[in-house]
Amino acid sequence: MNSVLNRSTELIDLGLIDYQQAWDYQTTLFKKILSQKSENRSLPTDEQKLTDNYLIFCEHPHVYTLGQSGNEKNLVIPPEKLSSLGARFYHINRGGDITYHGPGQLVVYPVLDLENFFTDIHRYMRTLEEAVIQTLNHFQLTAGQMKGLTGVWLDGDTPAKARKICAMGVKTSRWVTMHGLALNVNTDLTYFNHIVPCGISDKAVTSMEKELHTKQDTKQVKEILRLNLTSLFNMKPII
């Protein structure tokens, strides 16, 4: 690990953006950090350059994505009918199974060099979850983790009532991260009917709008989540 840590993190808001475009953009930043780390290995410590960190916020048009460990059978609609839903489908290089992204869902992609923060993937995932939990608490929703499952849940300690409100899936290489989390704010939940979300067939999916019985201000949710993420990771935000 470098003796000098860079906790400065550029905050980027891409708005509503095509999934492939966002994936390509993440990949460019991800490779840039990896390239700098490779270069640093051949340099004396005092000549090494700091690696960058990015926190990307966005929403996507309707899309289903399947992680490396996922099962295509969890897409329960015939692929040829996706166009009738206005949706696309991608095999991607994160962990986890299938999930849905769409308008009204807040997506966050941290592209970080964890050597600037802490080198513990379990802690990384739990910290992402905690940022979402604190955000939901701000809006009077009691959320938490669920033993053995990733993401953020309501009534996670009561399996029969458990509802997933935030999905997570990440990729890491040499402590550099990409992909991230998807929080259902005003999401059209009917799109989840066409998949087995995250490969879990016996748990419901919910949104802030559904739980609070009114449409939410996505901009406000984004701001609270940003504050929680930067605080928990002890980031120095660059806007």
Question: 10-residue block means of pLDDT along the chain (239 residues)?
Answer: 79 98 98 97 92 98 93 90 94 91 98 98 98 98 93 92 95 97 98 86 90 98 98 95
For residue 30, the tally of other CB atoms under 10 A from its CB is: 22
75 by DSSP, 3-state: which?
Answer: strand
- For residues 154 and 138, the answer to whether their CB atoms sit within 8 Å is no
Amino acid 1: pLDDT: 46
181 by DSSP, 3-state: which?
Answer: strand
Global pTM? 0.95
The dihedrals phi and psi of 205, each to the nearest 5 degrees, come to -115, 145
Amino acid 199: pLDDT: 75
- Domains of the chain (ranges; CATH) run 8-238 (3.30.930.10)
Amino acid 3: pLDDT: 55
* Side chain identity, residue 17: I
Place of tokens 């953020």: 152
Q: Which residues are catalytic?
A: 198
Place of tokens 């807040």: 106
Amino acid 87: pLDDT: 96
